A and B are shown apart, each in its own frame.
With several copies, the nearest count.
Chain A
Amino acid sequence: MTTERVPAAAAVQLLTPEGERVPHPDYDISLSDDVLRDLYRDMVLVRRLDTEATALQRQGELGLWAPCLGQEAAQVGSGRAMHENDFAFPTYRDHGVAWARGVAPLEILAMFRGVTNGGWDPIRKRCAPYMIVIGNQALHGVGYGMGIQLDGAEEAVVAYFGDGATAEGDVNEAFVFASVYNAPVVFFCQNNQWAISQSQERHSRVPIYERAAGFGFPGVQVDGNDVLAVMAVTAHALDRARSGDGPTLIEAYTYRMGAHTTSDDPTRYRHANEVEVWRLRDPIERLKVFLARQGIADRAYFDVVEHEADELAILVRDGVRSMPEPSIDAIFDNVYAEPHPLMEEQRRTLHAYEASFADGAGA
């Protein structure tokens, strides 16, 4: 059913699956030990957040969860490559990106609990709300980038989407607009090889990064499980964008280790051994091995991070359970920014109706 798939030979890699640092002519990057340790920490914490969320969904505390298991390097690496003023446009699965933008764990979970359709302040975090309609946000990213240009600011955008999304008209129109306006946008495609049950061949018969050239800007494939390479390639593309050299498409070749969402049953469409193969390419393990071998981090450090993760798990579990329920007024709040007669009328109606039960005056 599925033959084993690996990144193209051209894919940028700085860290082998075995945790060995390899040089690269274009994308070599030298990161401080602090940054390297932080990347590790980020990935561990994001994974714990993800695992806890999956568990909470099983317990009925969340309506749904879209796990990012296996994609931590792609998300954290690109998210951490952004400058503070850059702006991210993530999808429902990009918890590592939201994390890197400083979105609080409970803000990330709020939508999945069903108390909001957003969760955080997009302007303060410089991170758009998760987008669910596949591909829409690619155009938002380009428009935002055009705004950066109009402002003459040195900022850039990262627009995230999946391999499946590359089939949508919106993503391709985003390529056109970004190219024509030379917008400061990095298109970051996480090719996790699956769009729900459909494998990547259903969406392209050539590697996704090759799509870019035909729209007039560079495309590059990166080992999406190699956080260093992802960070290097994204930082490079962001620099290009900020300095007026226009868009780049990055294809981060990775793998969705978990189900599409907690509603999904991947055993219906893929073999378990495919997952096993990718377990050997785990993004966290490979950085851990590298850190340990290089003496950048030791067991004590790993234990601290583990402990932090445990604390995060507690915070998440408790926080989710005690998340305030939205009030029924929230149904009508912020539908419009300015006064609207129907909102007032229907708000009154609903209040009166609900009150009729409180009074014991119901039908």
Chain B
Amino acid sequence: MTQLTMAKAITAGLRKAMEDDPKVVLFGEDIGRLGGVFRVTDGLQKDFGEHRVMDSPLAESGIVGTAVGLAMRGYRPVVEIQFDGFVYPAFDQIVSQVAKMHRRTEGLLMMPIVVRIPYGGGIGAVEHHSESPEAYFTHTAGLRVLSPSDPQAAYLTIQQAIACDDPVVYFEPKRRYWDKGDVDLSIDATDLAQVPGPWRARLVRRGTDVTVACYGPMVRTCLEAAEASADVSLEVIDLQSLSPLDMDTVVSSVERTGRLVVVHEATANGGLGAEVATRVTERCFYSLEAPVLRVAGFDVPYPPSRLEEHFLPNLDRVLDAVDRAMAF
């Protein structure tokens, strides 16, 4: 066991994946000498060379579009989008090409591309640096979407994402980059006999009264809420795989608790919470004691940083929703 920040755990996972498979190449703005603006690729260019860790021109469609070509050539490109708000120039390549090429060619071409995106708020940044655009990608058939919530999960899932033959959009909760945790670097992430795959939700805290489903940056928030909740016992589920969703884990919890609160930073309207709520309600119609409630960003553009504490779901807003679920 090693104590690592999430950022360093991802670095370690990337390093391992590059050692394991020479076809893994890293590509993105400032990822080389600088090691990326969050230093997640720190040291990798030095160790693997400029041909495997490439600084790209400042053009996101270009980054993803060339990754498609690299994948057609048999590479496994891992591209970094510098911040959440800068993935949109690449949206066309992601939706029309990355997500559809395998289907288009009836399985003959594979798109084992990982698009890494530091996402979410809480770091006091200027506009476009705090967004949570995951629902755009979970709504896109052909993509898989992951978001780790702690260093150990990050270390494993980044490797599993890279090993996956499907494209994966990998959302890294940037404000948790500096959170430390124990990481067992000896686990073989891709030996699915030993470790579970990434496409499942994780029950991270047992409880009896209300299930709280969350992911990425909100997992810590919800765990803190569960600790703070004196009278009501919260069961916390880290969805981790945002697409596909592991509904079985959520449903079996809700069947026990009878109540569900879904928490995310992304705006509520059309966010992932709606999908989870709809599916849970369909499957647990008779076990639900209250409607599924959402705690999410308000349906506004991410506000200036001096307002973000009011915008972002926090411990109190989670508990408020829990209270409302209990009172229903």
Contact = CB atoms under 8 A, between A and B. Distances in A.
A298 interface: no
Interface string B315-328: 01101101100000
Nearest to B129: A132
Contact of B66 (A116, A143, A195): A143
Contact of A196 (B37, B73, B75, B323): B37
Contacts of A287: none
A143 B307 CA distance: 32
A254 to B, nearest CB: 18
A94 B323 CA distance: 49
A21 interface: no
Contacts of A63: 124-126, 305
B34 A269 contact: yes
Contact of B319 (A113, A197, A363): A363
Given A114-B126, A335-B141, A335-B301, A139 B70 contact: no
A128 interface: yes
Contacts of A122: 72, 105, 108-109
A81 interface: no
Interface stretch (A26-34, A95-103, A145-153): A145-153
Contacts of A136: 65, 92-93, 96-97
A132 B304 contact: no
Nearest to A352: B320
A334 interface: yes
A356 B323 CA distance: 13
Interface residues of B, number: 83
A295 interface: no
Contacts, number: 253
B237 to A, nearest CB: 16
A197 B141 CA distance: 33
Given A115-B304, A139-B66, A145-B69, A346 B298 contact: yes
Nearest to B107: A334
A111 B164 CA distance: 28
Given A118-B106, A133-B85, 5 more contacts: A116-B106, A136-B97, A336-B142, A343-B299, A353-B317
Interface of A: 63-64, 92, 111-118, 121-123, 128-129, 132-134, 136, 138-151, 164-165, 167-170, 173-174, 176-177, 180, 195-198, 202-203, 263-264, 268-269, 325-326, 328, 330-338, 340-343, 346, 350, 353-354, 356-357, 362-363
Interface of B: 25, 29-30, 32-35, 37, 51, 55-59, 61-62, 64-75, 77, 85-86, 88-89, 92-93, 96-97, 100-110, 112, 124-129, 141-142, 144, 164-166, 199, 244, 246-247, 269, 298-301, 303-307, 310-311, 316-317, 319-320, 322-323
